[in-house]
Structure 1
Amino acid sequence: MLKSFEGLDENFRFLIMEVQNQIKATFEFLLEPTPSTYDKIFSKDDYIDNLKNVIENKCFTTLNQTRLGQDQMKYLRAVHIITINLERIGDYCVNIAKQMGYLTTHRFLENFDYKDSFLKIHETVSEILPVLQKANLSGALSICRMEDELDLMYKENFDKIMIHLRIGRNVEDHITSLFIIRYMERIGDSLLNIGEALLFVIIGERIKIQQFKALQRNLNKSGLQGDVTDVDFQGIWGSRSGCRIARVEGKKTPQARDSIFKEGNLRKIRQEKINLECWNEIIPGLVPKVFSYQEEGENASLLTEFLSGCTLDEAIFNSDEEILKNALFIFEQTVQHVWEQTMSRHSLPTNMMRQALDRMSSILQVHPDLMRPAMGIGSVAIPSAGGLIRSCMDIEVRYPAPFSVFIHGDFNINNVIYNHLDQKVYFIDLHRSQHSDYVQDVSVFLVSNFRLPAFDRESRARITATIRSFYEFSKAFAKAHGDESFDIRLGLGVARSFYTSTRFELNRAFAHAMYNRCLFLMERLTEHRLEDPAQFSFPLEILNY
């Protein structure tokens, strides 16, 4: 693999050797500091920097000027990441040598257990090239695990130093020793980055060591025997919540079932598992089955069934009109079944406008100008955006949902899968599911259609037809079940969704289009006292673009 990039092989080898030499020289300097060793460390630092620049330039030039396969591109990316982190390790060695000048005696470091760790750092760096050449998975994991060892070394020495600092003994020397040991701990962070870059080359996808371990445990628990290299691991997307999502498929066992691996925040992944199990009890087959679940510290991971098909937004853009109509029919029939099956005839307060208020700081961080102040034209007062939200919150209190259903909770159009062959739809991404007002799902779905990034006339016509179809379906459902305040709550929900969606939209003109629609809806809702729900009719044309 290395020989396929002329000039890269040699410099990459030299960089590894020079960083090894730098680590060795720094260790010798800690044991017996001399001016010559100090000068050697500093002079080598410039050479390491130059090698890093040469390799970086070669990587970018090759990417720019050469037609590369996917494996070659992944290899270059990994080499670039490894190079950056090797240069950082060289810098940490220089910083350690500098700190030695602040000790009253270099023998003070003998109070701390660091020597074995330094030797292991040197040994670990020497393994980088063999692991890369042989695509050695266990070797890559061993490099990653060095970070845990250095973290443990740092913690033990940190606790020892804190004891002495509390009683005021040799304060300057202890603080300097802490800095030295801290730089060693940061070398561990760089070795972790290097190990994960090697995993990227071997597995074929960018994956952190904790995600790798979680994937391994989930595969074992789900019954798949063998190594992680026996599966195809294809990153699909990273959600806004920070979760990593990937598709997993057996390589050597064609009968192995496809699955989706999801790893992230413990609370969110745990809630998704609970919700998936709840959905499968209520309506079996509508959502993915859970194959395995693991918790580790503050994170959790989940292996679920892979549902084949296309997302509903793909049906809008990639299918003929008859397929889209069929998809919408099946979708609406499924939604109606869910709502009727899970309906609870108890009124329920909603908090859609509270959500808008809670997310205001995130919105203003992206678009600082999306907060209209109070103003006036002559004697006509124009309320501020915040004032409109608070007025709408008062309206929301007066019109609770007349019943609740088990909602999706994040009912974006790309969270619905349509399988044309099986004539079924499926729901995915369900960590927000709960018993609540179905209008919340309706408003999110409608605005997610509006936000689709297609602006040609034909695509917008299909989007508008989808919006109208689902609105008319939802309106008919409301009428059939005596929901007289449907239009008011839909106005509140759509206004909320327009406003909160602006934080995901960097196109200023489009963000302002959503913001202005939000203001228009809130002004319509608040211009009358709305003592009678019939006073307000939702203006569907506001969802045209």
Structure 2
Amino acid sequence: MIVHEGIEENLRFLILEVRKQVEKTRKFLARPSRKLLDSVRAKDDYIDNLKSIIQRKCFKHAVRDTKLQQAEIDLLKAIEIVAVNLERVADFSENIIGQAGYVIDHDVLDVYDFDPMLEVVIRALDAVADAVFQQDVQVALSVCRAEDELDRLYAQVFHRVLDDMKAGGEPQSLVTVLFIYRYLERMGDSLLNMGEAVISAAMGERIKIDRFWALEDSLDNANLDEMKENLRNVALRPMGETKSGCRISSVQNEKTGGRAVIFKEGKLGKLLDEKRSIEQWHELVPGLAPRIHSFHHQGENGSILFEYLPGRTFEEIIMRQEVPRIESALSDICAVLQEVWTRTRDDKPVPAGFMKQMRARLGDVYQLHPSFRQEAWHVDGLRFNALEDLVEQAFALEEKYLRPPFSVFIHGDFNIDNILYDAEQKAVHFIDLHRSRFTDYL
């Protein structure tokens, strides 16, 4: 992809200058000198100006050139993010040299080896240009991995410094050494930002590295080799975010085409609930819920790769105001509901717990409608209870008397944006199913 306005040349110069700053920092830590100190500080304004030039050109190019494709705009955004983070790396280099002036016991700079972390930074900087201008996801990943490596090295040094302090080492010098290593570790954060920016531009959606690993593992577990082996050609397209905070994207190999899949990522608990619910839907009413290609979890987060279901949400159909299509969709949805309720009916009553839900959400209700929070009051001797009292009374009545005679398997979040309708196939599908359960059909 061609980058106009001299942006590529400017960014390559910026990478070169920042690399020089890191190299000078390495030399300074090995043998401190006033000459190196002045040389690093003298380049600060130049690097800052070069970053500003790149930012200005990117913004100007994005605004003025109306013929730019979205992929070109995404690349300009990535270049701007890379430039900002390169300047931060240069600032950290200057911070490190400034910190060295607080060292009292200069032998400490010989005892601690800063080279391993500096080498990781330099190696990553050398990969930035290829990652950006070739939009090479694998090279961008190598830049991202520098952050993990720097974190690992910093953790080792951190414990060593603490041990040396306990052993009676000179405190000010050791604290200063720790600050120096901390600045090197923060360079890793900037490198991670650069790598993520390039990956996001290549894939068409802002993506953090943890989410990328989850996607890669999900594709691997789903045996979708064509996508996994050609991640450079895989495009992510945002499809929204659920109320529970899950992010949803379509995933497709743009070069070869083929059918897309849906990637959903969020908190593990919610996605485990959805996985179990979908599996239950497949047992009870096959074909109504999407098929799961793979499920992946790491720590507190999880991800699901679904089949892509054709059609529109019922909400979209209504908003288009095409009455015949609305009537057709509504008729088919009602028929599906009747089938679901008939097929899943269980004579065992399961209380819905409406007032239990209301009681749990009363705090949120008051935040949105503060006028609802009122004390009980009297009118001509007649008492009107406060909302909390009414909820408690209704809760007691529901628990004691309101038992449904039977239960059915419900969607659980049956909003019109969670119903898909394929007009060509006259097919109805349910999505976002983490609250599905047997309960009162009302």
Find the residue that maps to 1:85 and give its secondary structure: helix
> Contact between 2:85 and 2:191, CA under 8 Å: does it hold in 1?
yes
Q: Higher helix share goes to which structure?
A: 1
Find the residue that maps to 2:43 and give its secondary structure: helix
Q: Which has the higher contact order (CA 8 A, sep 6+)?
A: 2
Match of residue 267, structure 1, among 266, 269, 280: 269
- Alignment partner of 1:416 is 2:419: yes
* 1:133 Cα deviation after fit: 1.8
**For 1:250 and 1:108, how far apart are their aligned partners in 2?**
53
**For 1:187 and 1:12, how far apart are their aligned partners in 2?**
18
* 1:362 Cα deviation after fit: 5.3
- Alignment partner of 1:372 is 2:373: yes
Matches within 5 A, 1:118-517: 118-165=118-165, 169-225=169-225, 226-251=229-254, 253-254=256-257, 256-359=258-361, 367=368, 369=370, 372-374=373-375, 376=377, 384-402=386-404, 403-439=406-442
Matches within 5 A, 1:12-27: 12-27=11-26
**For 1:100 and 1:436, how far apart are their aligned partners in 2?**
67
> Contact between 2:247 and 2:266, CA under 8 Å: does it hold in 1?
yes
> Contact between 1:371 and 1:386, CA under 8 Å: does it hold in 2?
no
- Give 1:74's aligned amino acid: D
> Contact between 1:350 and 1:397, CA under 8 Å: does it hold in 2?
no
- Give 1:51's aligned amino acid: L
**For 2:74 and 2:324, how far apart are their aligned partners in 1?**
41
Find the residue that maps to 1:245 and give its secondary structure: strand
**For 2:132 and 2:355, how far apart are their aligned partners in 1?**
53
- Give 2:181's aligned amino acid: I
* 1:432 Cα deviation after fit: 2.0
> Contact between 1:348 and 1:400, CA under 8 Å: does it hold in 2?
no
**For 2:187 and 2:385, how far apart are their aligned partners in 1?**
56
Structure 1 runs not aligned, ≥5 long: 440-545
Distance 1:275 1:174, change over 3 A: farther
* 1:13 Cα deviation after fit: 2.6
* 1:253 Cα deviation after fit: 4.7
**For 1:357 and 1:114, how far apart are their aligned partners in 2?**
58
* 1:76 Cα deviation after fit: 1.2
Find the residue that maps to 1:409 and give its secondary structure: coil
Structure 2 runs not aligned, ≥5 long: none
- Give 1:374's aligned amino acid: E
Superposed CA offset, 1:326-384 (max 9, x none): 1111112212222232233333344444444444555666x484653327576676655
**For 1:182 and 1:395, how far apart are their aligned partners in 2?**
61
1:46 corresponding residue in structure 2: 45
**For 1:22 and 1:378, how far apart are their aligned partners in 2?**
78
- Give 2:250's aligned amino acid: R
* 1:197 Cα deviation after fit: 0.9
**For 2:384 and 2:42, how far apart are their aligned partners in 1?**
68
* 1:319 Cα deviation after fit: 4.9
Aligned CA-pair RMSD:
2.7
1:77 corresponding residue in structure 2: 77
Distance 1:242 1:172, change over 3 A: farther
* 1:169 Cα deviation after fit: 4.5
> Contact between 1:215 and 1:261, CA under 8 Å: does it hold in 2?
yes
* 1:246 Cα deviation after fit: 1.4
**For 2:377 and 2:261, how far apart are their aligned partners in 1?**
58
Find the residue that maps to 1:302 and give its secondary structure: strand
Superposed CA offset, 1:463-486 (max 9, x none): xxxxxxxxxxxxxxxxxxxxxxxx
More displaced 10-residue stretch of structure 1: 310-319 or 81-90:
81-90
> Contact between 1:114 and 1:153, CA under 8 Å: does it hold in 2?
no
Find the residue that maps to 2:297 and give its secondary structure: strand
> Contact between 1:347 and 1:400, CA under 8 Å: does it hold in 2?
no
* 1:166 Cα deviation after fit: 5.2
* 1:324 Cα deviation after fit: 0.7
> Contact between 1:140 and 1:196, CA under 8 Å: does it hold in 2?
yes
* 1:140 Cα deviation after fit: 0.9
**For 2:398 and 2:143, how far apart are their aligned partners in 1?**
56
1:96 corresponding residue in structure 2: 96
- Give 2:208's aligned amino acid: K
**For 1:371 and 1:100, how far apart are their aligned partners in 2?**
61
**For 1:240 and 1:156, how far apart are their aligned partners in 2?**
40
2:60 corresponding residue in structure 1: 61
Superposed CA offset, 1:307-337 (max 9, x none): 1000000111225212111111111221222
> Contact between 2:250 and 2:260, CA under 8 Å: does it hold in 1?
yes
> Contact between 1:2 and 1:8, CA under 8 Å: does it hold in 2?
no
> Contact between 2:120 and 2:150, CA under 8 Å: does it hold in 1?
no
Superposed CA offset, 1:361-408 (max 9, x none): 55666x484653327576676655545544443444344441332222
> Contact between 1:113 and 1:157, CA under 8 Å: does it hold in 2?
no
- Give 2:375's aligned amino acid: A
Distance 1:167 1:390, change over 3 A: farther
* 1:145 Cα deviation after fit: 0.9
1:539 corresponding residue in structure 2: none
1:485 corresponding residue in structure 2: none
- Give 1:39's aligned amino acid: D
Find the residue that maps to 2:206 and give its secondary structure: coil
Find the residue that maps to 2:287 and give its secondary structure: coil
Distance 1:12 1:389, change over 3 A: farther
Distance 1:162 1:282, change over 3 A: farther
